[in-house]
Copies of this chain bind each other. A is one copy, B any other.
Amino acid sequence: MDATQTRERILGAADALFGELGFDVTTTRDIAERSGVNKALIHYHFGTKDDLLEALLEGYYAKLGEALTAALGRRKGLAAQVEEVLDAYADFLAEHRSFTRIVQREVASGRHVERVVQRTLPMFQLGMTWLDEALTGAPRDFDAVQVLTTVYGMVVTWFTYGEVLRQLSGKDPFAPAALAARKRHVKKVVSLLLAEVEGRR
């Protein structure tokens, strides 16, 4: 087993455990056992447990950024781009279930708020730049911050409250059909929003 494999195994185990148990309760011994390596290797390869979280987030946000950038380049026009970005974002969360859990857990409280905020901010800033152009002259209360937070919140909350929704409906909220339905709903709400902006301009 070479160093790259060892690193990947540790990252994979940490990802799973942070997503299940949260960072604070997960111990380096848990991670070592899950990844099948000696605990001291975590420190050899990553330094501290905090640094391991940093490495994990770094990887996630790099991939998310690529996915969103690719989505933006796929089609022209605001409405079409919104759909592509929504698909990309929702698909990313669906494929990386730990990511939502880790981020939602750490974005508003705990020791890693700044770590997460500083990585989320550029995404929001990009969204703002893009939406500001599109929403010029939008009616009151439909400025870019409001719209961005609304769209972001509709998507991320589905994943965050998945367990509530599962028990509420008796169905798997992460099944492909359920996710497709959620995407359709969000897109429709967004199109209502955009129609409102266009109509009142």
Known: A105-B110, A110-B21. A169 touches B145 (CB 8 A): yes
- A124: chain B residues at CB < 8 Å are 164-165, 168
- A182 contacts chain B at the CB level, 8 A cutoff: yes
Could you tell me if B101 and A146 are in contact, using CB atoms closer than 8 angstroms? Answer: no
Identify which of B108, B142, B157, B184 contacts A105 (C-beta below 8 A): B108
Could you tell me if A102 and B109 are in contact, using CB atoms closer than 8 angstroms? Answer: yes
- Chain B's nearest CB lies how many Å from the CB of A71? 21
Identify which of B125, B150, B154 contacts A185 (C-beta below 8 A): B150
- A80: chain B residues at CB < 8 Å are none
Known: A146-B182, A153-B158. A164 touches B25 (CB 8 A): no
Identify which of B121, B156, B181, B196 contacts A167 (C-beta below 8 A): B121
- A81: chain B residues at CB < 8 Å are none
Bits for A69-99, please: 1 = Cβ < 8 Å to B, else 0: 0000000000000000000000000000000
Could you tell me if A146 and B185 are in contact, using CB atoms closer than 8 angstroms? Answer: yes
- A141 contacts chain B at the CB level, 8 A cutoff: yes
Could you tell me if B104 and A160 are in contact, using CB atoms closer than 8 angstroms? Answer: yes
- A158: chain B residues at CB < 8 Å are 149, 153
Could you tell me if A108 and B117 are in contact, using CB atoms closer than 8 angstroms? Answer: no
Q: How many copies does the complex hold?
A: 2
| A117, A160, A161, A193 — most chain B CB neighbours (10 Å) | A161
Q: Which residue of B lies closest to A158 (CB)?
A: B149
Could you tell me if B193 and A110 are in contact, using CB atoms closer than 8 angstroms? Answer: no
Q: How far is the CA of A159 from the CA of B110 in the complex (A)?
A: 15
Q: How far is the CA of A110 from the CA of B104 in the complex (A)?
A: 12
Could you tell me if B104 and A108 are in contact, using CB atoms closer than 8 angstroms? Answer: yes
**A residues bordering B, Cβ < 8 Å?**
18-22, 24-25, 100-102, 104-111, 113, 117, 120-121, 124-125, 128, 140-142, 145-146, 149-150, 152-154, 156-165, 167-169, 181-182, 184-186, 188-189, 192-193, 196
